[in-house]
Structure 1
Amino acid sequence: MSGPAAELPPAPATPATPEVVDQVAIARLYGEPLFALPQDLYIPPDALEVFLEAFEGPLDLLLYLIRRQNFNILDIPMAEVTRQYLGYVEQVRARNLELAAEYLLMAAMLIEIKSRMLLPPKPAPDGGEAPDPRAELVRRLLEYERIKLAAQQLDALPQQGRDFWRAQVHIEQSLSPRWPDVCVDDLRAAWHDILRRARLVQRHTITREALSVRESMSGVLRALQGRRFVEFGELFDPARGVAVAVVTFIAVLELAKEHLIELTQAEAYAPIYVRLAYTPS
Structure 2
Amino acid sequence: MNPDNPVLDDPPEGLDEVLPEVVDHVAVARLYGEPLFDLPRDLYIPPDALRVFLEAFEGPLDLLLYLIRKQNFNILDIPMAAVTRQYLSYVDEIRASNLELAAEYLLMAAMLIEIKSRMLLPPKKTADGEEAEDPRAELVRRLLEYEQMKIAAQRLADMPQYGRDFLRAQVYVEQALVPRFPDVSVLDLQSAWRDILKRAKLVQHHRISREELSVREHMSIVLRKLQGRKFVEFADLFDVTQGTPLLVVTFIAMLELAKETLIELTQAEAFAPIYVRLAYTPSDTP
What does residue 237 of structure 1 align with? Answer: none
1:56 alignment partner in structure 2: 58
Aligned partners of 1:37 and 1:74: how far apart in 2?
A: 60
Counterpart for residue 124 of structure 1:
126
1:185 paired with 2:238, answer no
Q: Residues of 2 paired with 1:44 and 1:194: CA distance? A: 78
Counterpart among 144, 147, 154 of residue 145 in structure 1: 147
- Structure 1 residue 53 displacement after superposition: 1.0
8 Å CA contact retained: 2:84, 2:109: yes
**Which has more radius of gyration?**
1
Contact 2:124 2:131 in 1 (8 A): no
Q: Tell me the CA shift for residue 184 of structure 1.
A: 3.8
What secondary structure does 1:112 align onto? helix
Corresponding residue pairs, total: 176
- What is the alpha-carbon distance in structure 2 between the residues aligned to residue 52 and residue 37 of structure 1? 33
User: In 1, are the aligned partners of 2:88 and 2:109 still within 8 Å (CA)?
Assistant: yes
Task: State whether residues 80 and 112 of structure 2, in contact with CA within 8 Å, keep that contact through their aligned partners in structure 1.
Answer: yes
Q: Give the structure-1-normalised TM-score.
A: 0.53
Distance 1:164 1:144 in 2: 30
SS in 1 for 2:47: coil
2:156 corresponds to: 154
Q: CA deviation at 1:185?
A: 2.1
The structure with higher relative contact order (CA 8 Å, sep 6+) is: 2
Q: State the AA in 1 paired with 2:91.
A: V
Long gaps (5+) in structure 2? 10-21, 182-229, 238-264, 274-286
Q: In 2 relative to 1, CA 93–194 (structure 1 residues): closer, same or farther, beyond 3 Å?
A: closer
Instruction: Give the percent of matched residue pairs that are identical in Structure 1 and Structure 2.
Output: 66
Q: 2:72 aligns with which of 70, 73, 78?
A: 70
Q: In 2 relative to 1, CA 58–33 (structure 1 residues): closer, same or farther, beyond 3 Å?
A: farther
Change (3 A) 1:50 1:173: farther
SS in 2 for 1:53: coil
Gaps of 5+ in 1: 1-7, 19-24, 196-281
TM-score by length of 2: 0.52
RMSD after superposition: 3.6
